[in-house]
Structure 1
Amino acid sequence: MARDEGGRGRDHKHEERDSEFVDRLVHINRVAKVVKGGRRFGFAALVVVGDQKGRVGFGHGKAREVPEAIRKATEAAKRGLVRVPLREGRTLHHDVNGRHGAGRVVLRAAPAGTGIIAGGPMRAVFESLGVHDVVAKSQGSSNPYNMIRATFDALGREDSPRSVAQRRNLKVSTIQSRRQGVEADASDS
């Protein structure tokens, strides 16, 4: 009896630890292998996982059954989480381009209240990441795998003022004041 309670407790803790992540199924691909007795179906799942606080990852899983493919993809996504710096916890610090293969994406920071303006797979990435305001455009390939990899390429190029200041041996306030000056000049012209 005590063993059952201990087992349930462990499972409950496992659920609590995993509950911090939000996972989104982006795409399922069904493939058929023709064999002597007919067709054998297999499934490939593409999943995006994030904590909605600046960490996000994606994974790919293949199996004979859909739930198993999703489970494998989710585990792969959790293993490959990356941290993305966000401005005020709601948008990107600067505009950035990304590419993977024939997939190209443009991500632009947006003012508060804009919302997530992005298509399909990119929307899943931003919702899992915790971004509230962003404008994104996919150019080139509409293949979900290439779009997601291009989006992650772009997010990997995202820099925060703190990391830029550290790299240049400057103060964060210096970089922020330069940014304010550039924004003011752009609005004047």
Structure 2
Amino acid sequence: MSNEIENKSQKVGFSLADEIARSGRSNYPGRGRSGGSRGGGPRRDSDLDQKVIHSRRVTRVVAGGRRFSIAVALAVGDHRGSVGLGTGKAGDTQMAMIKALRMAKKNMFKVPLTSESSIPHEVWAKFGSAKIKIMPNGGRGLMSGSSVRDLVRLAGIKDVTTKILSGSKNRLNNARATIKALRQIKSRIPLEPKT
């Protein structure tokens, strides 16, 4: 008797899953690949590009000895003005990268760009001991280094000069200072003359 129930439940489960997969739609509004109550459709993350900024092995000391894990900092961007930075830590590199990617997507924001793929004005920011200055450079291309270059390129900015003003070699702090600077960029709004 119990075998019959198991066989029937497996058949029902497979047929329902097959039907949903075959049709490409779910019968429940708001669920499934497409046709949800709010427009539906699959999430399109394929246009996002990612770059590992920093990866290192970290250690936690416990009573039984040392526990090793991997910490990863990852940047994500669409080359059209959106960029984000995330960190993740796990026992293996793959899981740490998945966590960092999830956080980076969650932290994404839009950077206002000019028509020449530059920034409208100069900005600078400080995070920890890292100081970053980002300036539009008038048609000379991307002049940058370190993790700053990766973030600026992922954001789609093609015509800036960046300068690391501090002596900090910490790639993660430089990346966080860059994100802080990019968040300060305001779109150029024409000012009305005072009367």
Map Cα deviations across residues 4-54 of structure 1 (whole Å, 9 max, x no partner).
5559x95xx75x601121111111011134567764320111011111111
Alpha-carbon shift at residue 2 of structure 1 (Å) = 3.6
8 A contact 2:53–2:172 mirrored in 1: no
Match of 1:186 in 2: none
How many residue pairs are counted as aligned between the two chains? 162
Matched letter for residue 29 of structure 1: R
Structure 2 unmatched runs, 5+: 1-17, 26-31, 34-40
Check if 1:124 corresponds to 2:150. yes
Matched letter for residue 160 of structure 1: S
Alignment of 1:95-174 (within 5 A): 95-112=122-139, 114-140=140-166, 141-162=168-189, 165=190, 170=192
Query: Residues of 2 paired with 1:89 and 1:130: CA distance?
Result: 11
Percentage of matched positions with identical amino acids: 34
Alpha-carbon shift at residue 154 of structure 1 (Å) = 1.3
Match of 1:42 in 2: 69
Which one has the largest radius of gyration? 2
Query: Residues of 2 paired with 1:67 and 1:116: CA distance?
Result: 31
Matched letter for residue 157 of structure 2: V
Matched letter for residue 66 of structure 1: T
Alpha-carbon shift at residue 115 of structure 1 (Å) = 2.5
TM-score, with normalisation over the residues of structure 1? Answer: 0.76
Matched letter for residue 57 of structure 1: G
Check if 1:23 corresponds to 2:29. no
8 A contact 2:119–2:160 mirrored in 1: yes
8 A contact 1:49–1:58 mirrored in 2: yes
8 A contact 1:95–1:106 mirrored in 2: yes
Query: Residues of 2 paired with 1:102 and 1:35: CA distance?
Result: 31
Kindly report the root-mean-square deviation, in angstroms, between the aligned alpha carbons of the 2 structures: 2.4
Query: Residues of 2 paired with 1:102 and 1:25: CA distance?
Result: 22
Structure 1 unmatched runs, 5+: 172-189
8 A contact 1:84–1:158 mirrored in 2: yes
Query: Residues of 2 paired with 1:71 and 1:48: CA distance?
Result: 12
Matched letter for residue 119 of structure 2: L
Q: 1:101 to 1:38 in 2, by over 3 A?
A: closer
Query: Residues of 2 paired with 1:153 and 1:34: CA distance?
Result: 33
Alpha-carbon shift at residue 139 of structure 1 (Å) = 2.2
Query: Residues of 1 paired with 2:127 and 2:62: CA distance?
Result: 35
Q: Does the residue aligned with 1:161 lie in a helix, a strand or coil?
A: coil
TM-score, with normalisation over the residues of structure 2? Answer: 0.73
Matched letter for residue 120 of structure 1: S
Alignment of 1:81-92 (within 5 A): 81-92=108-119
